[in-house]
Amino acid sequence: MHDSDRLHDAALVVAAKREARLRGMAARAEGQPLAGLRLAGHLLAALTLPPRATVAGYWPLKDEIDPRPLMLALAGRGHGLALPVAGRRGTTLAFRSFRFGDALQPGPLGTAHPYAAAGEASPTVLLVPLVAFDAAGGRIGHGAGYYDRTLSELRETGPVLAIGIGYAAQRQPRVPTGPYDAALDLVATEAGVIIPE
């Protein structure tokens, strides 16, 4: 394959991701307030995590499905929690320990994360926000690549379970993926749990 063919293919993937992202954002904007509770119920019924596994959740943006009911239930089952801290674009996420009630500082793009004093965490389970997903475990986020880089790096050192978190309406027949996109191990929505085919 010539360099010009690779550039053309990469441009097609970028354009296809942009279209899928727009469709996913539109579906997410129609979310339901209690969807996070239903999602938590489905995932807790379908999955038993290793004892004392540390779970990295995230503080949701205003139109994302709320993972906090799930995180609260997991903490009640003895799992440690963490939240991601995004650095400059092109880097991996760092994680800091989190307990409900901890003070949070604002992060980029409306996110929130613990202060440095909370200490670093090493999660083995990641709840991964998404804009769109498909039945094969493909995922599109906001486009910065933080989770793709982070999952790739974490998976080099040991097993990591990546659970996509989103609304059922964000599912698409197929999301475009490139060579550096990290696949999800499963996806949880308010309608149930999808195990990639």
Q: What is the pLDDT of residues 15-52, one digit of tens each?
A: 776 776 666 556 555 557 689 999 999 999 999 999 88
Q: What is the mean pLDDT of the chain?
A: 88
Where does 3-194 sit in CATH, by number? 3.40.50.10420
Domain boundaries, the chain: 3-194
**Secondary structure (H, E, C), the chain:** CCHHHHHHHHHHHHHHHHHHHHHHHHHHCCCCCCHHHHHHHHHHHHCCCCCCCCEECCCCCCCCCCCHHHHHHHHHCCCCEEEEECCCCCCCCEEEEECCCCCEEECHHHCEEECHHHCECCCCEEEEECCEECCCCCEECCCCCHHHHHHHHHHHHCCCEEEEECCHHHECCCCCCCCCCCCCCEEEECCEEECCC
Instruction: Specify the pTM.
Output: 0.85
